[in-house]
Amino acid sequence: MGQTRDALKILEKVTGSSKAVKAGIADAKVNFEVAQMIYDARTKAGFSQSELAALIGTKQPVIARLEDADYEGHSLTMLQRVAAALDQRLELRFVPKKSRTRRRPPSPVGSRRRRRQSA
């Protein structure tokens, strides 16, 4: 059997089944993806880090930090400012975790309001 080049399989082999390690990897992946999205949008728009910084009223090192895969401080407000400066809109989604158990969905907001009003 040959050696695998699949990074995810290699990580699985190295980390085993540790939930803490897997959670850390998932967090790092999110940070990387956000940083990469900012970099890709900025370069596609043809801006340097300094030019983007000027557009959103900050300094170049802030943009460099946002584009750093190790940075964990991305704020919604800053991401919205970057998106607006690049003539983009920011979309956020909640997606279900991959798990075996399913939670019961919450009751619709409207039905909770009706219950409160009738009480």
Please give the CATH topology (third level) of the domain spanning 11-91. 434 Repressor (Amino-terminal Domain) (1.10.260)
Closest CA to 37 of 95, 98, 88, 77: 88
Block mean pLDDT (10 aa), the chain, length 119: 72 76 80 94 98 97 95 92 96 82 62 50
Query: What was the pLDDT predicted at 66?
Result: 96
Instruction: Using the Cα atoms of residue 9, residue 12, residue 13 and residue 14 in order, give the sign of their dihedral.
Output: positive
What is the number of other CB atoms lying within 10 angstroms of the CB of residue 82? 23
Query: What was the pLDDT predicted at 98?
Result: 77
Query: What was the pLDDT predicted at 30?
Result: 87
Model confidence pLDDT, tens digit, residues 25-41: 777 888 899 999 999 99
Model confidence pLDDT, tens digit, residues 50-60: 999 999 999 99
What the block records as the tokens of 7 is 């990074």
Domain ranges of the chain: 11-91
Contact assessment for residue 62 and residue 72, using Cβ atoms and an 8 Å cutoff: no
